[in-house]
A and B are shown apart, each in its own frame.
Chain A
Amino acid sequence: MQFKRSFLAIFLLLPFLWTSCDDDPEPENPEELITTVLLTLSPDGAGTPVVFSFQDLDGEGGNAATITTDPLAANTTYSAAVTLLNETESPVENITEEVEEEDDEHQFFLLPAANLKLDWSYLDQDADGHPVGLLLQVVTKEASSGDLTLILRHLPDKGASGVAEGNIDNAGGETDIEVTFPVTIQ
């Protein structure tokens, strides 16, 4: 009987043991966040570089992204460098370095719309001799305009047919970045 009573008493008292510890969570820092993609196009020889930028400071949700471009000159050869940033960090985190360290697992692709008259090719390679695309060459032709899409694939099949030449069709992998810039060549 004694045992029964004490058991019941424990049972009835249990709810009071549930006093919820009201700790506060710490905000988690999204480490892999890329807020900004910069494509810096420097004309060969002399001239001012042109910068295309895609900036989405609050990540996937929230406010819309800001896209800015400047016109490219016709019949010009540009060296293009891709820069990836996480601007929510202070100081700003350069994600380009992470891609450089894992360059065998990453590859950029440029997809110009059919009416945008330009050619492009890779200027860099990983340790296996496959292109990476942090450095690109862009050669503009006659004046035209259209969309230019920059894609970063994580874990692509770099050996697949056409991939080394910049054809994305057989690349596979998953898309880490896909941004589209409206471009004018004049």
Chain B
Amino acid sequence: MKRMLLRALVALFLLSGRTPLAAQSVDSCRYALFGSVLDEHDGQPLPFSNIVVEETQGGAIASEDGSFRLEGFCRGTYTLVFSHIGCGSRRVSVQIPVDSALTLYLEHHAEMLEGITVIAAPKLSPHVSSSSSLEGVALERLAGQSLAASLSSMAGVETLQTGPTIAKPVIHGLHSSRVLIFNNGLEQEGQEWGTDHAPEIDPFTADRLTVIKGTGAVRYGLGALGGVVLVEPAPLPRESGLGGRLQLVGMTNGGLGAISGRLQGGSKKWTGFGWRVQGTYRIAGDARAPEYQLTNTGLRENNLSLGLGWQREAFSLETYYSRFYTELGILRSAHIGNLTDLQAALASGEPQIVEDFSYSIQNPRQQVVHDLFKLRGNWQLGNAGALEAQYGLQRNHRQEFDIRRGDRSDIPALDLELTTHNQEIVFTHRPWWDRWKGSIGLTGSYNRNRNVPGTGTKPLIPWYNNLEAGLFWVEKWLQEKYELEFGLRYDHRYLKAKTFDDQQELVITRLNYQGFTASLGGRYHLTERWTLRLNLGTAIRPPNVSELFSDGLHHAIASIEEGNVDLSPERSAKAVLNLTHENDDRFRLELDGYYQLIDRYIFLQPEPELRLTIRGAFPVFTYRQTDATLAGFDAYVQFRLLSHLFLEGKGSLVRGFDRGADDDLIFLPPPRGELHLKYVLAAAGRVKDLQFDLGVRRSWEQKHFPEGVDFAPPPSAYTLLTAGFSMNYLLGAHPLGIHLRIDNLLDTPYREYLNRLRYYADEAGRNVELRLSYEF
């Protein structure tokens, strides 16, 4: 009796001309299924097997070496029929995307079919660039954290914090305006220049978080020097029926509680119509460091999103609205008057104000409302290709409340309203000669920033209008073993700002920036498991309004920052080399090495003289430019020690040089490493995805920093232990996820170099986190 072993790997197909626009519907129909058919007895390839997809009536014949490849899958369930001369046929139901590789035993006689073994394996990334994604159970295990904290579980991604509640992602040492974040296909437009301004995104909306660490500038636009973050919700349902998910999160540290739910469905009457309603409420009180309470570090967050979609064969339309509301407390002790106060705080080594645990949020605090609206259409234009058009409207209202004299505590000290219109039209041509895939697109955006009057303070950021237009073209050349991608983009930005001089006279500044960016990338499949990627890309970033116009005192860091209207755009050239070993249960590897040159890198340079004010003397920092180099690597490796026991390691290292001053760059993440011992059981009865995890995280001391710039030396190295248990339990047909995790198991006090409030207090201590999720 002849048996066949069929290995089917499911992967995201290599996207062509992938733009933020394409992030959703097109993406979801670009999965590929590939694998090979082998004889189970001797592992030899079985050539010329026949594979038919029942739903599409498409199919393929395996090649001489038994390998096959099928493309054009959307998310959903497909039935594959495998057959081979001399064997019977076998029907296999496949859910796309597949979380794991399938090993299927095919037999001569259908009635003697054996079971299906599921082994863990990663999916191929759709990006030619080096990128990482979080989805499914891995994302559920992080639920309830901020977006940046969730992202930081990927190698090479760090967080820049302002206390326990405010965090933003750092990719390859760069952050803020140098990282673009796309929320459901739309570039997130908030006051992202501020290091203490976290992205206004509810991570519960995401079905997948992707970080593109390579060179994404051509597709994603101005500023993507560090990388691009994609926050992608699941595609809207197309079939009738009601479904949803409920998630509950509780954490002991800070008494954090979060509840998030979604309900979605389709229509029987109107084919292709789908909808989703999603909401989140998150609350936390004061976090606790091992030795004291971190007073005034609570948060409130409530978010709502609605999605409506209509998909026909040659046409689809989708609209999305979300509202994000957050109120964040800032460590009370970090609000200080002058440099003497800061030095006193540093000398004491403990926060000055420590009160009992409370959920109340006092000044200083931030309050932000972010509304996002999106409308997108997609048309199949016969044989020519497809056209996509997107319009986005965002309104970001940020209020920051300070400790003020008189009865002014309820008056925001900063009150900014930023309105953004985005527009994109992208034409994706049909594949030429089955080898060339690509698209050409036109993008435009308009920002309008206004200071809401009545703050009684000098505005940090002026009145401005910003107009941007871009044109891009990306092409990909596909071969069996490799693919090449190139892209070209032109951008123009016009910025008009209105400020006041000393005599309160209006000064109007008009600035124009333009430039080309280009990228060249390649992916080479050395073998089925080894992949090599090389990406070269340029990027430009015009100075942001803060770098151009800021003029004032920053309370938490007791320094005066002065903008510089003469700054020219940063220009970057980056090379990323990536080596991946995947689709193998025993050994997985992902290695990224990068080298980036940034000309006219904008940074804050301390002036030699202190500025004497009525509050005392302050250091003055001015925005200047230098030529900088960044280089580093990220590594991820996983070994199978025993049948269910895995050892997983992660590490990253980045170095930065100021070539102008022949010195180190400041505030770069210190070297880090993480080691996990995991016991994984994919399925056992009603239990799925069972995992025990014992981890150790080590952060070394940052030894490379410019002398005499920072107020305190980088904190010392620290080692933390974590433990976790996670599983899905099938209640009927629906999984109930139970995830328990203990962070900082030994309650170790430590300080983090990339936390702006490290001058004042330790990081949060032990945290027991329980997460429940139920999908129906």
Q: A residues bordering B, Cβ < 8 Å?
A: 4, 7-8, 11-12, 14-15, 18, 20-22, 24-32, 34-35, 37, 54, 56, 58-62, 64-65, 98-99, 101-102, 153-155, 172-179
Contacts and interface: CB of A to CB of B under 8 A. Distances in A.
A175 B338 contact: yes
Most buried by A among B353, B498, B614: B614
Contacts of A8: 377, 389
A25 B456 contact: no
Given A98-B406, A175-B340, A30 B615 contact: no
8 contacts: A4-B315, A8-B377, A8-B389, A20-B467, A32-B457, A58-B502, A98-B406, A175-B338
A56 B614 CA distance: 7
Contact of A178 (B389, B408, B457, B615): B615
A181 B453 CA distance: 37
Nearest to B448: A20
Interface string B316-342: 010000000000000000011110110
A15 B467 CA distance: 10
A30 B456 contact: yes
A60 B560 contact: yes
A154 B391 contact: no
B423 interface: yes
B233 interface: no
A60 B613 contact: yes
Nearest to A67: B612
Contacts, number: 132
B85 to A, nearest CB: 48
Interface of B: 315, 317, 335-338, 340-341, 352-353, 377, 379, 389, 391, 403-406, 408, 421, 423, 425, 444, 446, 448, 450-451, 453, 455-459, 462-463, 465, 467, 496, 498, 500, 502, 504, 506, 551-553, 560, 562, 611-618
Given A27-B500, A61-B551, A62-B502, A176 B456 contact: no
B775 to A, nearest CB: 35
Given A15-B423, A18-B446, A37-B614, 12 more contacts: A4-B315, A4-B379, A28-B459, A32-B406, A32-B408, A54-B614, A60-B613, A60-B618, A61-B551, A61-B552, A65-B612, A154-B337
Contacts of A14: 391, 421, 423
B591 to A, nearest CB: 43
A168 to B, nearest CB: 9
Nearest to B618: A60
Contact of B425 (A11, A27, A172): A11
A184 B457 CA distance: 37
A79 to B, nearest CB: 23
Q: Is the interface of B mostly helix, strand, loop or mixed?
A: strand
B537 to A, nearest CB: 28
A24 B505 CA distance: 11
Contact of B336 (A24, A59, A62, A175): A175
B506 A24 contact: yes
A172 B353 CA distance: 8
A32 B405 contact: yes
Nearest to A12: B425
B618 A7 contact: no
B725 to A, nearest CB: 43
A54 B425 CA distance: 60
Contacts of B391: 11, 14
A7 B377 contact: yes
Contacts of A21: 448
B421 A174 contact: no
Closest 9 CB pairs of A and B: A175-B337, A178-B616, A31-B456, A174-B337, A25-B463, A18-B446, A27-B504, A20-B465, A175-B338
B498 A30 contact: no
Nearest to B314: A4
Contacts of B453: 25-26, 28
A113 B489 CA distance: 63
Contacts of B338: 175, 178
B613 A25 contact: no
Contact of B560 (A27, A35, A61): A61
A28 B404 contact: no
A116 B455 CA distance: 42
A98 to B, nearest CB: 5
A176 B446 contact: no
A35 B446 contact: no
Nearest to A18: B446
Given A32-B456, A174-B336, A154 B406 contact: no
B608 to A, nearest CB: 15
A11 B455 contact: no
A99 B611 CA distance: 25
B458 A102 contact: no
A102 B611 CA distance: 29
B448 A24 contact: no
Contacts of B463: 24-25
A94 to B, nearest CB: 13
B731 to A, nearest CB: 44
Contacts of A179: 614, 616
Given A11-B423, A172-B353, A28 B613 contact: no
Given A15-B444, A154-B337, A174-B335, A30 B423 contact: no
Contacts of A155: 403
A60 B553 contact: yes
A170 to B, nearest CB: 10
A34 B613 CA distance: 10
A102 B446 contact: no
Contacts of A99: 405
A182 to B, nearest CB: 13
Contacts of A27: 500, 504
Contact of B405 (A26, A28, A98): A98
Contacts of B448: 20-21
B455 A61 contact: no
A14 B317 CA distance: 17
A31 B408 contact: yes
B613 A59 contact: yes
A35 B552 CA distance: 16
B611 A60 contact: yes
A43 to B, nearest CB: 27
Given A30-B457, A56-B614, A98-B406, A11 B389 contact: yes
B644 to A, nearest CB: 53
Contact of A56 (B336, B421, B613): B613
A25 B560 CA distance: 24
B456 A177 contact: no
